[in-house]
């Protein structure tokens, strides 16, 4: 990805202090989504990382991971699997509890969404403490998937989330 494209993406991320809780600086990616050139550049960043890898499915994390992950899956012509907050998926699920930078939650995956041995790339907008994506990784492996890599538009490096995902390789494009 060209440095000036990354710079434009970085400039478009809006910091919203004290959302959803006091002390959290929320990285708002909606200005990227709202700009056709920037949205395409953000998807291209993920695609560059995916090309040349034998990926069977993209798993996206509820909800902003859907926005990036589904566009990437569409372009690659492969399946997209949503990892959802508890109670949203209609069929039988596997579930895992996790802690967020700003709270606790539980996530679910349809038991038949991934076939044993399928190679998966996990996508979300942002890696913070890594709790969410570590439990996503657990769920993917529980249903038989092979997690090749986890990819994020933004990484809050000072929270060391990638350590929670080890040994899964982690890629991010905008580091803070």
Residue 118 CA to residue 144 CA, distance in Å, equals 7
Question: Of 131-150, which residues contact ligand AMP (CB under 6 A)?
Answer: 131-133
Q: Please pick, from the candidates 161, 162, 165, 173, the single residue that binds ligand AMP as defined by CB under 6 A.
A: 161
**Residue 86 CB, nearest approach to ligand AMP (Å):** 14
- Note whether 69 binds ligand AMP by CB under 6 A: no
Exactly one of 48, 88, 101, 155 is catalytic; name it. Answer: 101
Residue 165 CA to residue 133 CA, distance in Å, equals 7
Strands 170-175 and 119-127, by their bridges, are unpaired
Q: How many residues does the chain have?
A: 176
Exactly one of 64, 108, 149, 162 is catalytic; name it. Answer: 64
- Note whether 26 binds ligand AMP by CB under 6 A: yes
Q: Please pick, from the candidates 89, 128, 139, 153, the single residue that binds ligand AMP as defined by CB under 6 A.
A: 128
Q: Please pick, from the candidates 76, 81, 126, 153, the single residue that binds ligand AMP as defined by CB under 6 A.
A: 126
Of residues 22 and 117, the one with the C-beta less far from ligand AMP: 22
Instruction: List residues binding ligand AMP (CB under 6 A).
Output: 24-27, 61, 64, 100-101, 124-133, 161
Active site residues: 64, 101
């Amino acid at each position: 990805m060209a440095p000036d494209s990354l710079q434009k993406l970085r400039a478009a991320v809006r910091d919203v202090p004290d959302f959803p809780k006091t002390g959290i600086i929320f990285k708002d990616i909606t200005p990227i989504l709202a700009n056709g050139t920037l949205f395409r550049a953000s998807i291209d960043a993920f695609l560059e990382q995916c090309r040349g890898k034998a990926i069977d499915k993209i798993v996206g994390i509820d909800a902003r991971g859907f926005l990036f992950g589904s566009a990437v899956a569409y372009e690659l012509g492969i399946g997209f699997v949503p990892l959802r907050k508890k109670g949203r998926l209609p069929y039988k699920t596997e579930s895992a509890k996790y802690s967020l930078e700003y709270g606790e939650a539980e996530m679910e995956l349809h038991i038949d969404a991934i076939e044993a041995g399928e190679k998966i790339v996990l996508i979300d907008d942002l890696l913070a403490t890594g709790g969410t994506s570590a439990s996503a990784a657990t769920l993917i492996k529980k249903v038989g998937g092979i997690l090749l890599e986890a990819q994020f538009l933004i990484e809050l490096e000072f929270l060391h989330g990638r350590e929670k995902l080890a040994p899964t390789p982690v890629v991010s494009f905008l580091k803070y």
